Amino acid sequence: MTTQNSAGGPFTGVRVLELADEKGQWCGKLLGDLGADVIKIEPPGGESTRTVGPFYQDSFGPERSLSFWHYNTSKRGITLDLASEGGRGLFRQLAAGADLVIESFPPGYMPSLGLGYDDLKELNPRIIVCSITPFGQTGPWRDFLTSDLLHLSVGGQMGSCGYDDVPDAPPIAPGGGQAWHMGGHYACMAITAALIHRGNTGVGQYIDVSVHESCALTTEGAMASWIYNGKTMIRQTGRHAGMTPSAPTQTLCKDGKYVNIQLLAFRLSPAQVRQLGEWMDRYGMADDLLDEKYQDTAVIQEQADHISEAVRSFINNMTRDEVYAGAQEMGFSWGAVRAHDELPDDGQLNDRGFWVQVEHPDLEETFTYPGAAAIWSDSPWGISRRAPLIGEHNEEVLCGELGLSRAALAVLAESGVV
């Protein structure tokens, strides 16, 4: 089913209770795919993220969300109604033997149920609780309602994303739930540090993750530019925002596709100009780049605009993959801009085993999933199971691990506790 081998991932042996929607499910996946035993706890009927499309075979259903499938691999799933005393009691039993709780409820909700960190550490001093909320547990914005779009706006990303070649162009918001990914990544890093701390001290701790702060920390040089220079970075088409304009990079090819090139002609050496000229000459489009005058760096700097224009005209008359392959062969760091549907056939990704096959026994099918961003030699990554069905592991966890009888579980189900 998976790429995971017998060596186990770096979080093997860590028991995680996940009470999370889109704000925290990515963090749980990161831990689960690296070996943690993640138990996703959903309300009876399922988590709201099961309604996020697209859906398998374009048919809506809580078990058919491809988004939910992706973000909840390597997790077991149970249902609990935490608003009920019975549900809270079962959660306390689970927390007593857990290493970590990830929750993304509004600030103060878990303590209001008697399930906050101060309550849980009385049961389990080693427990780590990580709360992932839009603006954190404190501050004037703590109760504000948000979305991924809002976070990318107020967090600073959209201040750096957009076009500089379209008059009065609006900012552009990256798609794909980027704010939730940022919050999840910082939560995972904080959890790793807390686990190391606990290994040294034997004591858990509380982690308060703000998605807003995570976004602000992911603006790279934009914040520093304002704080230290009082300048706002300029949005630039298809390239990094900067304090001053930089040369365009995206260039259209004859097949309607694009390459991303870094062409600072005034920095080219005579040998590089000659190399470009010889390449272009093979297609009868060298212009004057083979002229001996370009063996003088001063001439290159004087004619930088002309050189750039000649090279871009050449690219405009070539296919994307011809340009990409030729430039890479010569040692130029130019890249092909690829659409999502091209990536499954990407030779580099396939060579490194990025795509993995995950079985869905309930559907009697196997699906291709995105893999890991890295290869670990001694603490491997791997998807251990597909996302859980609603309450799929109720009996396994609540009966097999907590000791409930099947009859008791049936009563809890009838009363809506599970």
Q: What amino acid positions are annotated as catalytic residues? A: 240
Structure tokens at 72: 């909840």
d(CA 158, CA 212): 13
Pairing of strands 128-133, 100-103: parallel
Helices first, then strands: H and E counts in the chain: 16, 11
Whether the Cβ atoms of residue 37 and residue 99 lie closer than 8 Å to each other: no
Whether the Cβ atoms of residue 28 and residue 99 lie closer than 8 Å to each other: no
Length of the chain: 418
Whether the Cβ atoms of residue 233 and residue 223 lie closer than 8 Å to each other: no
d(CA 343, CA 356): 13
Cis peptide before 134 (omega within 30 of 0): no
In the numeric block, the tokens 């779009």 are attached to 149
Whether the Cβ atoms of residue 56 and residue 360 lie closer than 8 Å to each other: no
